[in-house]
Chain A
Amino acid sequence: MNIHLLLAGVADIRYPLHAIAVADVDRLEETGHTRRILSPYDESALELALKLRDSEPDLRLVVHLLSGPNDERLLQTVAAHKPDHLEALALLPCAPWDACLTACQLASALQAELDDHSLLLVGREFGDLDGGNLPAALAVQMGLPLLSRVQYLRWDSDGRCWSLRERGTQEEWTLVETPCLVSVSNDKRSKLRHPLMKNVMLARKASYASRRVQISRAAGLQLGSLQIPAERQRGDHCTLLTGDVSQQVESLRACLVGSGADVP
């Protein structure tokens, strides 16, 4: 089996957002100190790919990272986990707000690389501007079955791969039949490991391949404007419960029960 992993990266929410402006109807301009990191979904997808390879060393892991601001640093982050191949995919035009166009471009880049034994992994959201559509749009575009919001992947003793998704009071384990696209959700079982320091150092010295993918689409989505979202209006103000702990607890109990919560 080959695993192809698609990563997009997101702006680090721990820092102020860099400058972003609409440069044209099909282009955003990002300037300043951009801090792009792997998203929780990217990290989970990478960790699951690594876990599968840990138990199946012959498995080949190929990572395709969406090109964008801060490329070099993000490529180094991924490279420290020692994929068998890593490349940056430069989509032209790059319109991550348009799932249909992005799916067409990614399908064009990947179609020739996947065979009947390939598993394509992607986080359940692709970058900062995906409206939740990319994995399904890509599956349709590539004609692949989709296992969505998968939390975990593992091999069984017969060498078959199973995917886990929790559904209420049940765990749903689905046999993964290749070729297949798996969209990965975040989960405690897929926290990204820390790479070895020697691999981090090696990654900093390496150079990385980049591939251009040029496809345009006639009736897509055009950029209008960018705004800071309006704060959602709720009640006038917050009533703070005062007093000592017992008074706060009693007020809180009355508030929770009085607000509609039921104590059976």
Chain B
Amino acid sequence: MKSNDLTVIAVAPNRWQVSALEDVLAAAQRVGGSAQARFGCLLLGHPEPERERLALEAGACTVWTLDPGEADAEDYEMWAAVALAALESSQLWSTPRRVVLLPPGAAGEELCARIAAGNGSVAAGRCEDIRVLDGQLQFDREGWGGRLSLSLITAANDLCACLRADKPSYPGRRMEARLMPLEHEPAPRPQRQIEYRETSEKLPPIESVKTLVCGGRGVNEAGFALLERLAEALDGSLAGSLPAVDAGMVPAYRQVGVSGKFVRPDVYFAVGVSGTPQHLAGISADTRIVALNSDPEAPIFRVADVGVVNDWETILPALLEALGPG
């Protein structure tokens, strides 16, 4: 594969968490690296110089910006329309094959499907690896609860995907790197009737903290109350595995894993989490995992850096006391 055969474009709305941009830059570096292709970055929304700098420092050859005006972070139809308008610009395409990358997670996957449907590209969705082999785009997707991985091949030239990689590196701005504003006037769309109500939620989003406390199937409601206090005491946030979300212990937007969010905290304190592959797929390889589980055979201990074999009922109250009043 020659470096001028493939264009990789990382797309991220500025209204999304900065971690979404970092995730998609890491993915672009990985795909670009393995295919020996350069990558660009398309930033949608009000200009954010800090994000433009991040993309340039990550090695993007070009950073395109497109400001559609006022926009809700979760108006995916609008973001897709804006991204499609930008991607139609011939300035972004000069190679036979194109890979458009969106941030991993449910929001990125929706945007991926909309962009693919809009420009006729193949929607790879959530995938583990993207490569060019024998002149064809290929990628892997885990299925059946992370128990098998399927390699998929397309003869199409355009692919839209959400790839989970680890932290991006910032080798510095390329000599030829440039910032290029694009223009687009989004078409007016019907407004939905929406009402907002405040909740008792106090903790920050799980993508934005250095310390994430996560409860799993082995923790009950009383345990999650302790985990919430612990998250506050550590200035972190609270997450849950799929079974914990299913059991109603935490809301779905706090779910970590293949079906949930991809997180990159410095420390991930997993309590009562067995450590299934589909849960671990939501945690960056750079993250230090500290595990508390009463089952010494739990798979989480095979991947944790530090482990405690004990009941959460015994350890958590004592740990909260040791951390002091919070």
Contact = CB atoms under 8 A, between A and B. Distances in A.
A binds B: yes
Interface stretch (B1-9, B22-30, B177-185, B198-206): B198-206
Contact of A226 (B148, B155, B281, B292): B148
Interface residues of A, number: 85
A158 interface: no
A197 interface: no
Nearest to B116: A100
Interface in A175-228: 175, 177, 185-189, 191, 219-228
B109 A253 contact: no
B149 interface: yes
A40 B247 CA distance: 10
Contact of B305 (A166, A167, A234): A234
A112 interface: no
Given A166-B253, A170-B196, A234-B303, A241 B211 contact: no
B226 interface: no
Contacts of A148: 76, 106, 110
Contacts of B266: 259-261
Contacts of B292: 252
Interface in B205-256: 205, 210-211, 233-236, 242, 245-249, 251-253
Label chain A's interface by main secondary structure. Answer: mixed
Interface in A52-80: none
Contacts of A157: none
Contacts of A234: 285, 289, 303-305
Interface in B250-297: 251-253, 259, 266-267, 269, 276-277, 280-281, 285, 288-292
Contacts of B194: 172-175
Interface stretch (B42-50, B87-95, B313-321): B313-321
Contact of A260 (B77, B146, B205, B210): B210
A129 B150 contact: yes
A97 B235 contact: no
B306 A175 contact: no
Interface residues of B, number: 96
B126 A132 contact: yes
B235 A263 contact: yes
Interface string A16-60: 010010000100000000000000100000000000000000000
Interface in B85-143: 106, 109-110, 112-114, 116-118, 122-128, 138, 140-143
A128 interface: yes
B133 to A, nearest CB: 9
B111 to A, nearest CB: 8
Interface of B: 74, 76-77, 106, 109-110, 112-114, 116-118, 122-128, 138, 140-156, 162, 192-199, 201-202, 205, 210-211, 233-236, 242, 245-249, 251-253, 259, 266-267, 269, 276-277, 280-281, 285, 288-292, 301-310, 314-315, 318-319, 322-324, 326
Given A219-B122, A221-B154, A245-B310, 12 more contacts: A17-B147, A130-B125, A169-B199, A172-B194, A173-B197, A232-B285, A234-B289, A240-B309, A252-B290, A256-B269, A263-B233, A263-B326
23 contacts: A11-B145, A11-B147, A17-B148, A97-B143, A99-B125, A100-B116, A132-B113, A133-B123, A140-B117, A146-B76, A166-B201, A166-B252, A171-B197, A219-B154, A220-B154, A227-B151, A234-B289, A234-B303, A239-B307, A245-B318, A248-B315, A252-B308, A263-B233
